[in-house]
Amino acid sequence: MISELDELYKQVILDHNKNPRNFGVLENPTSHAKGHNPLCGDQLDLYLVIEDGIIKDVKFNGSGCAISKASASIMTSIIKGKTIEEAKQLFEHFHNLVTSDPEAEIDVSDLGKLEVFCGVREFPSRIKCASLPWHTLAQALNENGYSDLISTEV
Amino acid sequence: MENLFIDISEKKVFEVEKIRKDFPILSRLIHGKNLVYFDNAATTQKPRQVIDSIQNYYVNLNSNIHRGVHYLSEAATKEYECTRKIIQNFINAKHLEEIIYTRGTTESINLVASSYGFANFKKDDEILISAMEHHSNIVPWQIICQHTGAKLKVIPMNDDGEIILEEFDNMLNEKTKFVSVVHVSNSLGTINPIKYIIDKAHNFNIPVMVDAAQSIQHLKIDVQQLDCDFLAFSGHKIYGPTGIGILYGKKKYLIEMPPYQGGGDMIMSVSFEKTIYNELPYKFEAGTPNIAGVIGLGVAIRYINNIGIEAINNFENELLSYATNLLSDMKGLKIIGTAKDKTSVISFIIDNAHPHDVGTILDRDGVAVRTGHHCTEPVMRRFNIPATTRASFSFYNTFYEIDVLAKSLKKVINLFN
């Protein structure tokens, strides 16, 4: 039986933590937001280049735990090239996933790579770590009038 | 004190198994594992005697103090005031009325900052604190500085996490109006040379407040010997209940200081024209207090006295050196806070593993540690790290539990490297 800990620290998450994708600074972003989790000190800078409603480029920088770093790495990987609408949908899917009851069956068909975060539900104190990059994304999109995502933390 | 130790193999062992039986929570399972409670610097567990005293108060004594002439009120008042005497003896205060009940260390510091500060600080006065203060010994002074125009000055520390005394000496001047320093750092474990600091400040007639939140449970404190002017600590960090704390203050200051809060119990007489404040210590104890908390704290101090604070300190030092040796040998682990004088607190970082991940993995092995900035963000900045993992030991912890910690840490190191 796979332990809850193994479910949380899946190989994919460990890999993204060790070799985060899209890690760094974008010199001329069209959107930028800062995410901060005062509880654990996680800090995140998210840079986006949005053209014609499409996320052309995205990078993140900062320091955080394996869960928040992997979440930012995976998020930036999957939103790159997506439209704002698609990114909003992914936000909703992710939000629904991590706030769902750990016992509840989930429809993984919409989740794609995000499925690796299923295990986070068993660790209430770590849900904020996983969702920090997404809330930072929502903030970046909202501030530029691209969306009206609710960025209230879970 | 000799009889508190029994020889097992070559190592002197405190009668820890017997003591552990007094703490009901220590026998519970966490995620199916025995609880290893190493978050004692955040709060300590409570012995059954303390828990029973709180229950006994609500079952047999509940009533308001200092008010009724009925039996229960008198009995509750007696128990409540009895703790004051216990605290007076515990820290060797000269006068009973120098012991003031508060909600905790934080409120004690706020009381002094607010009452003493408003009455005495002016523009360009200087208030000294150290670089390793808990937020609760930073923010109250910042607030008072904003209101009065006084300036907050910070005594720096070295790479081991020790106050640089030469810097402190140089910072004292005729503008310095107050010094408030932590006795033991909650995030580093450093024991500060508080006597030296007090004596130097007194050369300039500057009053000194000691934040004893992290020292009262480890070290013998004698306020007359230290000659500190104010001292604050919390009940819950010394095996008592939460929501109750102590402010010790020298009578000569407390008499002059204006009330911190107004209300019932702190008055002698009230009319719409003029209110006459109550005498010490009641002047600073407005409203119905945490009576059960006070009674529980008294029982906690008695419990500590029965074991003996020196015996506690000796055993905790053994735990600290055992853990320090074990953790120092781990590849990729670095201890933050390497002062020569430390209490049983070890903060550390691990290569490639964020403290929050460390904390989660340890938790699944039943090991409770604190992760984060420990309410000392400036300390984290000083060491250029976002957070640490902190294991803090109490006299009810064992060498075996430290082995469990070490084994779990090896798991962390393997996972992330």
pLDDT value of residue B3:
46
Print burial letters for A13-26: b (CB count within 10 Å at least 16), e (below 16).
Answer: bbebbeebbbeeeb
CB-closest option in B354, B373, B415 to A65: B354
Phi, psi of A8 (to 5 degrees): -75, -50
Q: Are A65 and B372 in contact (CB < 8 Å)?
A: no
pLDDT value of residue A108:
77
Distances (CA, A) of B357 to A70, B99, B194, B237, B389: 12, 42, 36, 26, 10
Q: What is the pTM of this model?
A: 0.92
Shortest distance, CA A76 to any CA of chain B (angstroms): 21
Q: Which residues contact residue A80 at a Cβ distance below 8 angstroms, ignoring those fewer than 6 apart?
A: A22, A55, A56, A57, A58
pLDDT value of residue A101:
87
| CA angle centred on B322, ends B321 and B327, rounded to 5° | 95
**Region(s) of chain B under CATH 3.40.640.10:** 51-306
CB-closest option in A5, A39, A42 to B361: A5
pLDDT value of residue B290:
98
Q: Which residues does chain B have within 8 Å of residue A64's beta carbon, measured at their own beta carbons?
A: 354, 386
Q: Which residues does chain B have within 8 Å of residue A63's beta carbon, measured at their own beta carbons?
A: 354, 386
Q: Which residue in chain B is spatially nearest to A62 when comparing CA positions?
A: B386
Q: For residues A138 and A144, what is the distance between their CA atoms, to the nearest angstrom? A: 10
CATH number of the B2-45+309-416 domain? 3.90.1150.10
CB-closest option in B360, B361, B372 to A39: B372
CB B46 within 8 A of CB B240: yes
Q: What is the dihedral of CA B205, B209, B215, B220, to 10 degrees?
A: 50
**pLDDT at position A127 over 70:** yes
* B364 touches A: beta carbon within 8 Å: yes
E-strand stretches of B29-102: 29-30, 33-34, 36-37, 99-102
Q: Which two tokens stand for residue B307?
A: 């074991």
**Region(s) of chain B under CATH 3.90.1150.10:** 2-45+309-416
Give the pLDDT band (50/70/90) at residue A112.
confident
The whole-number mean pLDDT for each consecutive block of 10 residues of chain B, a chain of 417 residues, reads: 46 80 97 97 98 98 90 95 98 98 98 97 98 98 98 98 98 98 98 98 98 98 98 98 98 97 89 91 96 98 96 97 97 97 98 95 97 92 94 98 98 94
Distances (CA, A) of B280 to A125, B29, B47, B254: 44, 46, 31, 8
CATH number of the A4-143 domain? 3.90.1010.10
CB-closest option in A9, A43, A64 to B415: A9
pLDDT value of residue A154:
47
Average pLDDT of the residues of chain A = 89
Complete DSSP assignment for B375-411? T-HHHHHHTT-S-EEEEE--TT--HHHHHHHHHHHHH
pLDDT value of residue B91:
98
pLDDT value of residue A3:
85
CB A69 within 8 A of CB A17: yes
pLDDT value of residue B10:
45
* B360 touches A: beta carbon within 8 Å: yes
Q: Which residues does chain A have within 8 Å of residue B355's beta carbon, measured at their own beta carbons?
A: 40, 65
**pLDDT at position A1 over 80:** no
**pLDDT at position A149 over 70:** no
Shortest distance, CA B398 to any CA of chain A (angstroms): 26
Shortest distance, CA B357 to any CA of chain A (angstroms): 6
pLDDT: is B69 or A57 the higher one?
A57
In a mutational test of the B interface, the residue from A40, A73, A123, A125 whose CB has the highest number of chain B CBs within 10 Å is A40
List residues of B with catalytic annotation: 375
CATH 3.40.640.10 corresponds to the domain B51-306: yes
Give the pLDDT band (50/70/90) at residue A107.
confident
Give the pLDDT band (50/70/90) at residue A150.
low
